[in-house]
Homo-oligomer: A and B are copies of this chain.
């Protein structure tokens, strides 16, 4: 079984996340540790179609574990969403002698991988790499821990500034469908309120909460808003609140792409190293169409399709903690 696997490929796909380099490094070194050949595919599925391949050895991945981004680059590829694109990809893999593929990315990337595996019997294993932490089958995704520290650091800085009375700071963080970044950083940075897509408490709730904060002697309030929140955009939200709260001034910060970058934290590097090794282990065990994750601190496999379809529920305990500690 494992004896027949001699050559694997690895690519990063979709929005990049800090720690992807550490994952690639672990895939490469674990493959070499087991005597296999490894090909790095640049620019995701796009690069696969265009034949942007590079043979990697142990030294190729030296000095990248501490770098943000992904040295293999990432891209979104429309062509790959068509059957013809995947057929060409499969042909490219065969031609290059690549017997199995490790795909590091989020659920968009995994959807493509599922189809490639099903239509062309390509062995594929996924590694969850996205700052959003919204992949079913793993407690944490690669990049999430770095992203929340980046956001927290920014909010800490805003908290430092002179706390003029009656000032409201609205800070938009990433998370189109998932409120994890907002929830963790809202607790970690000690924000007064957190708005996430999974839970809509309405404008009245927000206004009452902010007024309560004012009465308790807080001179300024910070509201963390996930970009997927239903309130209609952070600028709109700030305007509405300012209009309804007499004598309050609002300030908006849109953190944007700084959340995708930065040197990966230790937890992200360790997670990425574990998952990179686990992905190669899974391929050697003959697995395909699966995603490797860490659940309850143990390596765990989940069907790639299930990982794409299922949703992780937001942790109700964390919401309660956020409510209690922000009084």
Partner of A277, one of B70, B159, B253, B320: B320
Q: Which B residues are CB-close (under 8 A) to A315? A: 297
Q: Which B residues are CB-close (under 8 A) to A217? A: 59
The smallest C-beta distance from A317 to any residue of chain B, in angstroms, reads: 7
The smallest C-beta distance from A28 to any residue of chain B, in angstroms, reads: 9
- Answer whether residue A273 sits at the interface, using C-beta atoms and an 8 A cutoff: yes
- Answer whether residue A179 sits at the interface, using C-beta atoms and an 8 A cutoff: no
- Answer whether residue A88 sits at the interface, using C-beta atoms and an 8 A cutoff: no
Contact in complex: A270, B187 (CB < 8 Å): yes
Cα–Cα, bound, A32→B325 (Å): 10
Q: Which B residues are CB-close (under 8 A) to A12? A: 162
Partner of A258, one of B157, B187, B320: B157
Contact in complex: B157, A68 (CB < 8 Å): yes
Q: Which B residues are CB-close (under 8 A) to A259? A: 157
Q: Which B residues are CB-close (under 8 A) to A326? A: 29
Contact in complex: A270, B318 (CB < 8 Å): yes
Cα–Cα, bound, A315→B162 (Å): 30
- Answer whether residue A63 sits at the interface, using C-beta atoms and an 8 A cutoff: yes
Partner of A160, one of B29, B30, B69, B266: B69
Q: Which B residues are CB-close (under 8 A) to A18? A: 160
- Answer whether residue A87 sits at the interface, using C-beta atoms and an 8 A cutoff: no
Contact in complex: A69, B256 (CB < 8 Å): no
Q: Which B residues are CB-close (under 8 A) to A273? A: 187-188, 321, 325
Cα–Cα, bound, A321→B33 (Å): 11
The smallest C-beta distance from A163 to any residue of chain B, in angstroms, reads: 7
- Answer whether residue A148 sits at the interface, using C-beta atoms and an 8 A cutoff: yes
Partner of A253, one of B62, B258, B320: B258
Q: Which B residues are CB-close (under 8 A) to A252? A: 254, 256
Q: Which B residues are CB-close (under 8 A) to A325? A: 25-26, 29-30, 273, 276-277
Q: Which B residues are CB-close (under 8 A) to A320? A: 277
Contact A266 to B148, CB < 8 A, known contacts A160-B261, A273-B187? yes
- Answer whether residue A73 sits at the interface, using C-beta atoms and an 8 A cutoff: yes
Contact in complex: B160, A321 (CB < 8 Å): no
Partner of A145, one of B66, B190, B267: B267
Contact in complex: B265, A160 (CB < 8 Å): no
9 A–B contacts, CB within 8 A, in A order = A26-B321, A26-B325, A65-B190, A66-B190, A157-B258, A157-B260, A161-B257, A252-B254, A277-B324
